[in-house]
Amino acid sequence: MSTLKRKAATQAAGADAKKPKQNSSIMSFFGPPKVTPSAASSSSSTAATTTGANAGPEPAAPKFDKVKWVASLTPEQRELLQLEITTLHHSWLALLKDEITTKEFLDLKRFLNRETAAGKKWFPPKEDVYSWSRHTPFNNVKVVIVGQDPYHNHNQAHGLAFSVRPPTPAPPSLKNMYTCLKNDYPSFTPPPNKGGLLTPWAERGVLMLNTCLTVRVHEANSHSNRGWERFTQRVIDLVATKRTRGVVFMAWGTPAAKRVQKVDAKRHLVLKAVHPSPLSASRGYFTCRHFRLANDWLATRYGDDTGPVDWALTEGASIFAKEGEDDEAAEHSDAVSDSSVAKKVLEDAAAAAVDKKPNTSGKTNKKAASVAKSTAAEDDENVAPEEDDVEA
């Protein structure tokens, strides 16, 4: 993560990034540290054990002739699927074309037509039902946040789970997500004017997918069990099976957790927590560290420069900028501290050799050096950002 942090920080400062100093701790004075591999884990997360290097190349995107496929549809299918044909991103349509011609999905479309014919208003607006597919094409997906039902009030839902367009203020669940994110990245600042638009995340590879994609105005869950659940499960399954390099799945709440229970945890990272709703967030959501854990894992799969997601939502801001500045300061402080501690160890060892008798000086010197080395290692461990960051 340090490379990305420095890159963001120095871009903000208008200077070239410096390479991280290797072994900038007291341990470098006594020799290279022992490598002990560890993985981020908690009661709310399942970490993949495969490395990005072993994940293998992604399968080639299927060849899809949209014009030919549309021509193969029956007149009724073409009429029922006009929204999918015109607004579902090409990369997703190529993968979902068989699903949307099933009886179950066509029945769902007939239901929506009946709702409209009966004068029943539903959200999001038709053109936004599949906005998630256009903001996050299939081959860009790195994170999946599983939502539940779309917001059911006016000027809220626009096709991305948890997101709202201005001037609508961020709903309570989204405000709690901001709090969790700020706990992971203190430099994070919520959008101005209490904003809740999450399209920057979507365009950086975060697929925000509701389990049900439509809802009747002011009637929560009014379009549930009509066919959307099967469709969105297919979306999740496609990501899990075809994005072989690895994806982070964030499932908040029991319904979302059920949606990812079949995801291969050796290939992907599955993070679970209570829902960010005010009714449940206090039971562990604020400290689940999912935004940080996701980035740490993505860095191992895609590299420091391209893996982690910049969760910033304010124009021109970056969650990594402040961290990069802190790293520079910490590195300088560590270098000064290491030099001082090393000098003190040598002085103490020399003093012990003078004070003790010849036949015991060797043992005393070794003991003093061992204690000093142990204490220094503990101090270094206590401030190591990487170790603290991966703990939930």
Residues 162-215 have pLDDT tens digits of 999 999 999 999 999 999 999 999 999 999 999 999 999 999 999 999 999 999
Assess whether 304 carries a catalytic annotation: no
Burial code of 318-331, b = ≥16 C-beta within 10 A, e = fewer?
bbbbbbbbebbeeb
Question: For residue 37, what pLDDT is reported?
Answer: 35
Give yes or no for residue 257 having a pLDDT over 70. Answer: yes
Give yes or no for residue 343 having a pLDDT over 50. Answer: yes
Share of the chain above pLDDT 70, in %: 66
Lowest mean pLDDT among 181-190, 194-203, 270-279, 355-364: 355-364
Give yes or no for residue 260 having a pLDDT over 90. Answer: yes
Question: For residue 4, what pLDDT is reported?
Answer: 52
Beta bridge partner(s), residue 250: 145, 271
Question: Mind listing the pLDDT tens digit for each residue in 40-90?
Answer: 334 344 444 444 544 556 666 668 999 999 999 999 999 999 999 999 999
Say which DSSP state 170 is in: P
Ranges of H-type helices in the chain? 2-13, 27-30, 66-72, 75-80, 82-87, 90-96, 103-117, 131-135, 172-184, 199-203, 228-242, 254-259, 290-302, 319-355, 358-383, 385-389
Question: For residue 321, what pLDDT is reported?
Answer: 84
What is d(CA 327, CA 184) in angstroms, rounded to the nearest whole number?
Answer: 16
Nearest-5° Cα angle at 173, 122 to 282: 145
User: Which of 81, 90, 251 has its CA nearest to residue 161?
Assistant: 251
| Lookup: tokens for 149 | 């039902």
Which amino acid is located at 350 in the chain?
A: A
What is d(CA 231, CA 323) in angstroms, rounded to the nearest whole number?
Answer: 40
- Residue 300's pLDDT band (cuts 50, 70, 90): very high
Question: For residue 41, what pLDDT is reported?
Answer: 38
What is d(CA 38, CA 388) in angstroms, rounded to the nearest whole number?
Answer: 12
Mean pLDDT of 125-142: 98
What is d(CA 231, CA 133) in angstroms, rounded to the nearest whole number?
Answer: 13
Q: ω into residue 124 within 30 of 0, thus cis?
A: yes
pTM for the predicted model, two decimal places: 0.72
User: Which of 310, 333, 307, 306 has its CA nearest to residue 322?
Assistant: 310
Mean pLDDT rounded to a whole number for the chain? 79
- The CATH classification number of 125-317 equals 3.40.470.10
What is d(CA 361, CA 180) in angstroms, rounded to the nearest whole number?
Answer: 54
Q: From residue 188, how far is each of 2, 58, 106, 184, 252 by CA, in Å?
A: 17, 33, 43, 9, 21
Name the one residue in this structure whose structure tokens are 């706990």.
Answer: 183
The backbone region for 23, taken as left when phi is positive above 0, alpha when psi lies in -120 to 50, beta otherwise, is left
Catalytic residue among 16, 107, 149, 379: 149
195 contacts 177 by C-beta, under 8 angstroms? no
Mean pLDDT of 290-304: 97
Lowest mean pLDDT among 16-30, 88-102, 270-284: 16-30
Domain-by-domain residue ranges, the chain?
2-38+321-389, 125-317
In what side-by-side order are the strands of the sheet with 45-46?
A: 45-46, 269-273, 248-252, 143-146, 206-209
HSE-CB for 50 with a 13 A CA cutoff: 16
159 contacts 167 by C-beta, under 8 angstroms? no
- Residue 348's pLDDT band (cuts 50, 70, 90): low
